[in-house]
């Protein structure tokens, strides 16, 4: 009885080894034939490597299914195991990598475009602020110079302007007391501002004379004269 049992076990083991060695040989032959297939062999290197890599797991699946070994026993276990590996390494991971790379590429492209647009908007806002600030400062500068030149023209020169300032200081002193000029902060500020505007006006006139340009008062006078001349010509 023991010899009979041993012989049966040995026969079963030999049958098992022969069957799976034949299946393994068939898998190797099919894989080599697939790798040498012209449709695969003529592909670019990257595509050929990927197809050969994918066939490492797909070939045993095809062999097990064609021989009917995928339905029960060890064949079913191997089939499920190889199918899971194939889905993981050949389907899930490559698709996840491709989708992630595509999403990252789109995100980087979108972030770059939006960053460029944000920088362009910031530059536009800075340019508008700079333009408005420059316009306001130049307008205030020319308005102050124009008002001073008008006052200087009315007072018949710088001496007249300072005479008016002295008269105003004396009038303020007579109204507030003798020490008012020395102690009043705003009166001192007004006197300093008048002196600074006078100096700035003289320097600006020298610059305009050297550059061949007109002062604000001259421009206003010439413009008013031209406007009066056009009105007179229209009336005639």
Residue 125 has pLDDT above 90, yes or no: yes
Q: What is the pTM of this model?
A: 0.47
Let me know: does 134 contact 208? Beta carbons within 8 Å. no
CA 27 vs CA 50, 65, 159: distances in Å? 18, 12, 114
Q: What is the mean pLDDT of residues 108-131?
A: 92
Calculate the dihedral angle through the C-alpha atoms of 91, 93, 98, 104, rounding to the nearest 10 degrees: 150
Containing 96, the helix (H) or strand (E) segment is helix 93-154
CB atoms within 10 A of CB 149: 20
Encoded tokens for 107: 């995100």
Q: What is the mean pLDDT of residues 195-203?
A: 84
d(CA 204, CA 218): 13
The residues, ordered by sequence, that sit 6+ positions from 180 with a Cβ below 8 Å of its Cβ are 172, 173, 187
Ranges of each domain in the chain: 1-108, 156-229
Let me know: does 146 contact 216? Beta carbons within 8 Å. yes
Q: What is the distance, to the nearest Å, from the Cα of residue 153 to the centroid of all Cα atoms in its chain?
A: 55
Looking at per-residue pLDDT, the higher value among 216 and 80 belongs to 80
* Structure confidence at residue 118 (pLDDT): 92
Let me know: does 199 contact 206? Beta carbons within 8 Å. no
d(CA 115, CA 21): 62
pLDDT digits (tens, 9 = 90+) for 51-109: 888 888 888 888 888 888 778 788 888 889 988 998 888 888 889 999 999 999 999 99
Encoded tokens for 188: 């001192």
Residue 175 has pLDDT above 90, yes or no: no
Looking at per-residue pLDDT, the higher value among 168 and 80 belongs to 80
* Structure confidence at residue 224 (pLDDT): 64
Residue 126 has pLDDT above 90, yes or no: yes
Q: How confident is the model at residue 172 (pLDDT cuts 50, 70, 90)?
A: confident
The residues, ordered by sequence, that sit 6+ positions from 70 with a Cβ below 8 Å of its Cβ are 61, 64, 76, 79
Residue 130 has pLDDT above 60, yes or no: yes
The residues, ordered by sequence, that sit 6+ positions from 86 with a Cβ below 8 Å of its Cβ are 54, 57, 58, 61
Let me know: does 52 contact 40? Beta carbons within 8 Å. yes
Among the residue ranges 41-45, 139-143, 213-217, the one predicted with the least confidence is 213-217
* Structure confidence at residue 233 (pLDDT): 59
């Amino acid at each position: 009885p023991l010899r009979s049992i041993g012989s049966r076990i040995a026969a079963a083991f030999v049958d098992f080894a022969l069957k799976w060695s034949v299946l393994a040989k068939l898998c190797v032959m099919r894989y080599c034939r697939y790798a040498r297939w012209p449709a695969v062999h003529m592909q670019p290197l990257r595509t050929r490597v990927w197809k050969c890599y994918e066939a490492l797991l797909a070939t045993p699946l095809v062999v097990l299914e064609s021989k009917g070994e995928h339905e029960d026993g060890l064949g079913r276990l191997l089939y499920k195991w190889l199918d899971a590996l194939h889905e993981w390494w050949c389907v899930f991971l490559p698709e996840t990598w491709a989708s992630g790379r595509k999403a990252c590429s789109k995100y980087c492209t979108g972030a770059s475009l939006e960053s460029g647009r944000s920088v362009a908007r910031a530059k536009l806002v800075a340019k508008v602020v700079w333009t408005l600030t420059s316009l306001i400062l130049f307008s205030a500068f020319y308005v102050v110079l124009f008002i001073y030149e008008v006052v200087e023209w009315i007072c018949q020169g710088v001496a007249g302007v300072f005479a008016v300032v002295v008269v105003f200081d004396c009038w303020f002193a007579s109204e507030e007391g003798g020490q008012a000029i020395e102690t009043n902060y705003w009166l001192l500020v007004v006197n300093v501002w008048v002196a600074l505007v006078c100096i700035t006006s003289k320097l600006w006139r020298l610059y305009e004379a050297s550059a061949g340009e007109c002062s604000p008062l001259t421009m206003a006078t010439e413009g008013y004269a031209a406007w009066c001349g056009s009105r007179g010509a229209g009336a005639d």
